């Protein structure tokens, strides 16, 4: 549910477990009163709204709880070793300084973490025994029956339904209800499997640090013991037998601390390796079972009514002969129509050819007639023009003769009157 902070106006997504409570805004740290869930709220889809439940961390053990258990186990163990203080084993734990105490504490802390993880894994094994797909709800999960399977999961006991297998199947069914797609559900299951595997692997990080730190503490104790031994030898009085004896005792005591701390660190790290490997193997087997269940039990039940092409062909195999016959009849009808259209097109082409031929003869005659008329008209125009030019030249020649006579009388030169045609 989305609410707006009344102090800073930030939009907050409130989870169901906070309904009806006073929470602190993560932005301005102001106090907000969250309203109760409105069961009568209108849904904008035809899908029922499901809020799921608060999921716990099924991989990581409670660090504080394991710390307290480890500390308590260390104290109890050290108290139990007091009666054996004079023995070799008791002296190793009680007389070798703080390094051995630290090694023992890390050892028991790591065992506490593994024990808590083993209890978590036992819870997952119990949840795996739940009957998640009752036969009375149907043999397959489709768009009509998926709601019933989801409701059945919500009716499971709360202490068992909050588990890896139930949470994964619930989310897968809700995704199928929303998307109705087998492929999307398969992709989701693969992704969720990787997430759970990575979370399980990361939950052993602290134990692996302890497994590395315990031998390192042993080496630190070795260095400290050797340093004390060498220091006591250098500061001793070699002339006094009692002082020399004390120096030798200090030397052997320092060497004992040096070797015992390393010995204890190596032994404890070996002892922790076996339960670590056993618990990790057990958890891997549980995750493998969950993956196998989802692959072999859940996915085959999903039916999104989106069969492949091969399935559709096999489903309609009986109707294939009828389909082939229909195609043959349609093909024959097409050929008949094509032949009729071809014949009609041929007749139209022949009629068009005849029409073009007759029109061509008419056009040729018309052009020939027009050319003849043009030639006659042009000849008449040229002859008339030539006669008019001759008359004009005659008039000019007469005028020139008159001028020559006048010039002759005056004693001048004559104007030449040689006649030339219009065209040369």
Q: How far is CA 117 from the centre of its chain?
A: 31
Distance (Å) of CA 265 to CA 121, 169, 213: 29, 44, 9
* CA pair distance 256, 211, nearest whole angstrom: 23
How big is the CA angle at 251 (ends 245 and 252), to the nearest 5 degrees? 95
pLDDT (tens, 9 = 90+) of the chain, 424 residues, equals 667 777 776 667 677 767 777 888 776 778 877 877 654 343 444 555 666 677 788 888 889 999 999 999 999 998 988 888 778 777 777 777 788 888 889 999 999 999 999 999 998 888 888 888 887 887 888 888 888 888 888 888 877 778 888 888 888 888 888 888 888 888 988 998 999 899 888 889 999 999 999 888 887 877 776 666 566 555 545 565 555 455 555 555 556 566 778 888 888 889 999 999 999 999 999 999 989 988 888 888 888 776 544 555 555 566 667 777 777 788 788 788 888 888 888 888 788 777 777 777 777 777 778 777 777 776 776 666 666 777 777 777 787 777 777 777 776 555 555 544 444 4
Residues 6+ apart with CB under 8 A from 125: 286
8 Å CB contact between 114 and 279: yes
- DSSP-derived secondary structure letter, 50: -
- pTM here? 0.58
3-state SS string for 84-135: HCCCHHHHHHHCCCHHHHHHHHHHHHHHHHHHHHHHHHHHHHHHCCCCCCCH
Between CA 122 and CA 128 the distance in angstroms is: 10
């Amino acid at each position: 549910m989305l609410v707006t902070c009344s102090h800073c106006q930030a939009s907050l997504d409130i989870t169901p477990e906070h309904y009806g409570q006073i929470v602190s805004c993560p932005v301005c740290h102001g106090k907000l009163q969250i309203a109760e869930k409105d069961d009568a709220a209108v849904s904008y889809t035809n899908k029922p709204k499901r809020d799921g439940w608060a999921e716990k961390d099924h991989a990581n053990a409670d660090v504080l709880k394991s710390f307290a258990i480890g500390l308590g186990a260390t104290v109890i163990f050290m108290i139990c070793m007091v009666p054996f203080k004079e023995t070799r084993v008791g002296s190793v734990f009680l007389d070798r300084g703080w390094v051995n105490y630290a090694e023992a504490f890390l050892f028991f802390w790591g065992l506490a973490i593994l024990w808590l993880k083993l209890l978590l894994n036992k819870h997952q094994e119990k949840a795996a025994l739940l009957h998640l797909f009752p036969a009375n709800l149907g043999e397959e999960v489709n768009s009509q029956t998926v709601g019933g399977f989801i409701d059945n999961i919500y009716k499971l006991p709360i202490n068992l339904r909050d588990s890896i297998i139930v949470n994964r199947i619930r989310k897968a069914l809700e995704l199928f209800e929303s998307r109705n797609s087998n492929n999307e559900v398969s992709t989701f299951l693969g992704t969720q499997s990787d997430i759970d595997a990575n979370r399980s692997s990361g939950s052993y990080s602290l134990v692996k640090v302890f497994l590395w730190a315990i031998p390192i503490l042993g080496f630190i104790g070795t260095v400290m013991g050797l340093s004390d031994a060498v220091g006591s030898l250098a500061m001793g009085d070699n002339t006094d037998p009692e002082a020399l004896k004390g120096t030798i005792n200090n030397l052997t005591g320092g060497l004992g601390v040096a070797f015992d701390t390393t010995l204890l660190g190596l032994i404890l790290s070996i002892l922790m390796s076996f339960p670590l490997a056993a618990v990790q193997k057990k958890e891997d087997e549980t995750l493998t079972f969950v993956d196998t269940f989802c692959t072999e039990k859940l996915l085959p039940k999903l039916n999104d009514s989106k069969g492949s092409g091969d399935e559709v062909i096999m489903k309609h195999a009986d109707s294939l002969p009828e389909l082939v016959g229909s195609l043959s009849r349609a093909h024959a009808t097409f050929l008949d129509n094509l032949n009729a259209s071809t014949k009609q097109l041929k007749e139209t082409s022949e009629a068009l050819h005849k029409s073009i031929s007759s029109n061509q003869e008419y056009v040729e005659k018309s052009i020939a007639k027009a050319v003849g008329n043009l030639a006659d008209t042009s000849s008449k125009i040229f002859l008339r023009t030539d006669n008019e030019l001759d008359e004009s030249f005659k008039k000019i020649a007469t005028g020139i003769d008159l001028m020559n006579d006048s010039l002759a009388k005056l004693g001048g030169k004559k104007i030449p009157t040689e006649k030339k045609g219009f065209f040369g």
